[in-house]
Structure 1
Amino acid sequence: MTAVVDSAKRHTLQALLSLPSGIVRRLAGRPVEIEGNILDPEMQLVLTLRKIEGAAIEERPIPGGRRALVDAAKAVGGDLPIGAVTDLDIDGPGGPLRLRFYTPRNLAAVSPALFFIHGGGFIYGDLESHDAMCRFLAERAGVRVVAVNYRLAPESPFPAAVDDVEAAYSFVTANATGLGIDPDRIAVGGDSAGGNLAAVLAQRATRAQVGAPPVFQLLIYPAVDFAVKRPSRTTFATGFFLNKRFTDLTEASYPPAGVDLTDPLLSPIYGDLTGLPPTYVVTAGFDPLRDEGDDYAEKLRQAGVAVQHVREPGLIHSFANMVGVGRSGPEAMGRAAAALRRAVSTP
């Protein structure tokens, strides 16, 4: 029955967001404008529909919230075509660690790869919640995508996620050729909490502390600072999917009591950014994490890193999951995939 309901949600969303833009605008309601940015009508309509679905993810017991996140992601992600998807369990610091390999259609025997880390506030998210995003990036960028199912808080707080990600990345880089991956063309990336972990990983790998240096970073509305709350945290505290209650839960669950919140393994904005690979940072105009992502892009630039920073002005946090419905999410993620493709197209 659940599968039937999920399918119905997906088809309803697809039907609504496939309507002419003028009709979507009318269905979404009066335009929302903040700081000169107008909320994309597709995002506005998704937020309206979300309100009638019941309790938000962060308002449920964590196990139920995790299931709800997967259901919501499947509703907006769709069932995108892919050449092949295979899982592999490796030995991790806390036990078996699952990796998922996405191979796009018509790919060479040896290809570039994106090592991808999912978001979810370090509490939610898994291989299923970000399956559509990984499929989209693999096919659009023409790369293998390797996703990792790291341990989550509060059961496994910081630095468990960092340890798992590093173990998985080390395995992939050490076994790249046997996995059909060009060892000289491996990028790292992630969204939200995954963007945090990708940024940490890139810093560590660049310093030869783990694996091999990546050739590119793809950071999608990354959470990079636990120590300082910037204005966008207040401006978009409620009403735009990611809210204060969610971020408060993250801050109470992931960092242990007494930990230094400026530790670069926790808040990568305080790390050594020199020598990092070219980076694509995308932030959303209606996102509590917007300002810290913007600041991270600027700090990378000041450190001499080649940065392409794109702010998608009308979008919300989680637009990267919306690759199976509407136009706005797929178009924004298409730009990110194109940047990834260009970055790894030549050794």
Structure 2
Amino acid sequence: MPSPSPSLRDRIDAGVLAAVLRLPSRLQRVLAGRPVLRDGQTLDTETQLLLRLQRITRDPGLSGSTIADIRRDTDRQTWLAGGRQPIGAVRDLEVPGADGPIRARLYTPRSRVAGSEPAPLLFFAHGGGMVFGDLDSHDATCRLLAERADALVLAVDYRLAPEHPFPAAVEDCWAAFSYVAGHAATYGADAGRIAVGGDSAGGTLAAVTAIRAAEEGVPLAFQLLVYPATNLVDDSESRRLFGEGFFLTSEFMELAHSSYVTGAHELADPRVSVAFTERLPDGLAPALVVTAGFDPLRDEGEAYARQLADAGVRVELRRHPGQVHGFFNVVGVGRSSRAAVAEAAAKLKAALH
């Protein structure tokens, strides 16, 4: 189902936000307040201003909200942060999940609308802690990725917890990916140039899918892992430093984890915490791991990049030191987050072309 049309208030708020983030950097600094320095990093001015506006408007974000509240507010946040990005064509469809069909959306860049040659394709899993998010929450980002990478993007709407706890999301993504990989021509895609990608929980699902693809001999060209959650067991310095005040909070992560897994023993399952994979398989696809400096998940994402490299996988690690978790969705306002997403799309394009 398409997202409801934004209200008048949402349109006004979006216009104000866009105007504020178009201001010269020096004026944004005045509005944002003194620079925030932590762990040798300086918080991006635009990001600091967004966080301050969130506090002023008493927007709870991911803290102090129920899963139902977060799901309800997702459409509004998507409109404010993502805007409406141009795209050649969008088609809603269904693909096989593990327990029946699941919704999917195919994005075709403008350069490919009239073409007949098979195109590269990114199989994309959205973030949201395994408990929220859908095709609409990441629509703007998928549009930008498709256009900038000159590739098809196929996003999937896997089942969410707590209604469908682990391993539902993992199984849905594998069932959908393996079907798409085996029927690439159906989507106008080149079977030899398929990538998997996702952000946060979607990054976890992409990493798990890539491992299984290598184990089962399903061709995969690339992994795009954006601040993936890779270790739900061990604490880290970034979790301690950034677990409050930088969008993604320790409170929300605890809520998401307890909703997704039914027992503490599952936290160390490699399909939940991919860092616990005992031996990464041969033939694992090259990867780009993107992290944010002020993200609680920063250290575990970077540790997984090192784990991939130690296993002989060709991997590039890119940290955006001034960004917070969630920047991948901020493509409709400001400059810095959009530039970071565009950079990831350019690297995806280079890998698939």
> What TM-score do the two structures reach when normalised by structure 2?
0.94
Please tell me the residue identity of whatever aligns with 2:12: A
In 2, Cα distance between equivalents of 1:258 and 1:61? 21
Tell me how far 1:25 sits from its aligned partner: 1.2
* Alignment partner of 1:328 is 2:348: no
Tell me the residue number matched to 1:106. 111
In 1, Cα distance between equivalents of 2:261 and 2:63? 18
Tell me the residue number matched to 1:255. 261
The answer on whether the counterparts of 2:96 and 2:179 sit within 8 Å (CA) in structure 1 is: no
1:317-342 Cα deviation digits (max 9, x unpaired): 00000111111111111110011000
The answer on whether the counterparts of 1:275 and 1:304 sit within 8 Å (CA) in structure 2 is: no
Equivalenced residue count is 343
* Alignment partner of 1:264 is 2:270: yes
Tell me the residue number matched to 2:135. 127
Tell me how far 1:95 sits from its aligned partner: 3.2
Secondary structure in structure 1 of the residue aligned to 2:265: coil
1:204-250 Cα deviation digits (max 9, x unpaired): 001117xx231000000000111212111111110000001111111
The answer on whether the counterparts of 2:289 and 2:305 sit within 8 Å (CA) in structure 1 is: yes
The answer on whether the counterparts of 1:83 and 1:104 sit within 8 Å (CA) in structure 2 is: yes
In 2, Cα distance between equivalents of 1:295 and 1:120? 21
Secondary structure in structure 1 of the residue aligned to 2:9: helix
Secondary structure in structure 2 of the residue aligned to 1:277: coil
In 1, Cα distance between equivalents of 2:266 and 2:130? 17
Tell me the residue number matched to 2:32. 28
* Alignment partner of 1:188 is 2:188: no
Secondary structure in structure 1 of the residue aligned to 2:292: strand
* Alignment partner of 1:40 is 2:44: yes
Structure 1 residue ranges without an equivalent (≥5): none
In 1, Cα distance between equivalents of 2:9 and 2:101? 32
Tell me the residue number matched to 1:16. 20
Tell me how far 1:91 sits from its aligned partner: 3.8
* Alignment partner of 1:294 is 2:302: yes
Secondary structure in structure 1 of the residue aligned to 2:93: strand
Secondary structure in structure 1 of the residue aligned to 2:293: strand
The answer on whether the counterparts of 1:78 and 1:324 sit within 8 Å (CA) in structure 2 is: yes
Please tell me the residue identity of whatever aligns with 1:304: G
1:272-317 Cα deviation digits (max 9, x unpaired): 3343111110100000000000101111111111111011000000
Please tell me the residue identity of whatever aligns with 1:21: S
Secondary structure in structure 2 of the residue aligned to 1:269: helix
Tell me the residue number matched to 1:168. 176
Tell me the residue number matched to 1:156. 164
* Alignment partner of 1:279 is 2:287: yes
1:241-280 Cα deviation digits (max 9, x unpaired): 0001111111111111143322211111122334311111
Tell me how far 1:170 sits from its aligned partner: 1.6
In 2, Cα distance between equivalents of 1:86 and 1:53? 36
Secondary structure in structure 2 of the residue aligned to 1:97: strand
1:132-173 Cα deviation digits (max 9, x unpaired): 110010000000000000000111100000111111112211
Select between 166-175 and 133-142 the one with higher mean Cα deviation: 166-175
Tell me the residue number matched to 2:67. 62
Secondary structure in structure 2 of the residue aligned to 1:26: helix
Select between 12-21 and 89-98 the one with higher mean Cα deviation: 89-98
Tell me the residue number matched to 1:77. 82
- Structure 1 outlier segments of 4+, above 6 Å: none
Secondary structure in structure 2 of the residue aligned to 1:323: coil
Tell me the residue number matched to 2:244. 238
Tell me the residue number matched to 2:125. 117
The percent identity for this pair of structures is 50
In 2, Cα distance between equivalents of 1:258 and 1:320? 30
Tell me how far 1:4 sits from its aligned partner: 2.1
Secondary structure in structure 2 of the residue aligned to 1:223: coil
In 2, Cα distance between equivalents of 1:16 and 1:54? 17
> What TM-score do the two structures reach when normalised by structure 1?
0.96
Please tell me the residue identity of whatever aligns with 1:104: P
In 1, Cα distance between equivalents of 2:101 and 2:276? 31
In 1, Cα distance between equivalents of 2:97 and 2:342? 33
Match of 1:204 among 212, 218, 234: 212
The answer on whether the counterparts of 1:166 and 1:201 sit within 8 Å (CA) in structure 2 is: yes
Secondary structure in structure 2 of the residue aligned to 1:73: helix
In 2, Cα distance between equivalents of 1:174 and 1:159? 22
Tell me how far 1:117 sits from its aligned partner: 0.3
**Alpha-carbon spacing, 1:258–1:310, altered in 2? closer, same or farther (3 Å):** closer
The answer on whether the counterparts of 2:193 and 2:220 sit within 8 Å (CA) in structure 1 is: yes
